[in-house]
Amino acid sequence: MNGTCVNLVADPYPPYQFREDDTIMGIDYETVSRIFHAMQMDLHVDLCPWDECLHRVDVGDADGVFQITKTRARESRFLFSDLLREEETALFSKRPLPPTSSLCEILPNGRHLLGVLEGYSYNDEIDRLPAESKLVVPDQEALLDALCQGRCHAILMDAGVADYLCAKQRITGLHKADGFGVRRELYVAFNRNRVEIQHTFNQGLHHWRGSSQPRARN
């Protein structure tokens, strides 16, 4: 498949993928780019809203989407790569939060709003919360705005994203709940007709992961 151009989509998710001065950059973007380039395949990436990303892969307008979690429904729609990386989604508030591993202690009976991202799957406990207990917003910046404006009690956000956006927007006073974290496995998902691209990416992923491990000293 040398010379093949792969078209991927992703939603803006700094510091993992984002656009700056008309250039796409970010940690996950660079990883995926290096893997495809190492397999002698060109890569084109578009950043767009999450629902649009999934639709474009569904209809074959894009070959795949990154980074994405597995669900039963998604596994029937897409071909998934091997594991790209893991992330931890943390719970943040403008007020100190008690150490806890349970949302029930922070959002008793669903009386407090929890800010979440539209279209994202977190885990069963969070995904099954009643709609009236969640404030659903389209992107990370909207999550921070909702929290800072007092429209929700707490938000779920990747810790790396929170650090990046708070530094960029000079937001202070965010409190992270000790003991609470949602571990999410992230993948690249491909259109079901792109089996060869999926296999090629997995080969490159394992080679990249092996070559990036520290070498043992003799």
Q: How far lies 109's CA from each of 22, 112, 113, in Å? A: 45, 8, 11
Which CATH architecture best describes the domain 5-85+185-212?
A: 3-Layer(aba) Sandwich (3.40)
pTM above threshold 0.85: no
Q: Are 62 and 9 in contact (CB under 8 A)?
A: yes
Q: Summarize pLDDT for 136-175 with one digit per residue, the tens.
A: 998 889 999 999 999 998 999 998 899 999 998 999 999 9
Strand pairing partners for 85?
Answer: 186
CATH 3.40.190.10 domain extents, the chain = 5-85+185-212, 87-182
pLDDT, residue 182, reads 82
DSSP H stretches of helix in the chain: 27-38, 50-58, 72-77, 124-127, 140-148, 159-169, 195-212
Candidates 2.60.40.1180, 3.10.290.10, 3.60.20.10, 3.40.190.10; correct CATH number of 87-182?
Answer: 3.40.190.10
Tens of pLDDT along 45-88? 999 999 999 999 999 999 999 999 998 999 999 999 999 999 88
What does the buried/exposed string (b/e) look like for 51-72 if buried means 16 or more CB atoms within 10 Å of the residue's CB? Answer: ebbbebbeeeebbbbbbbbbee
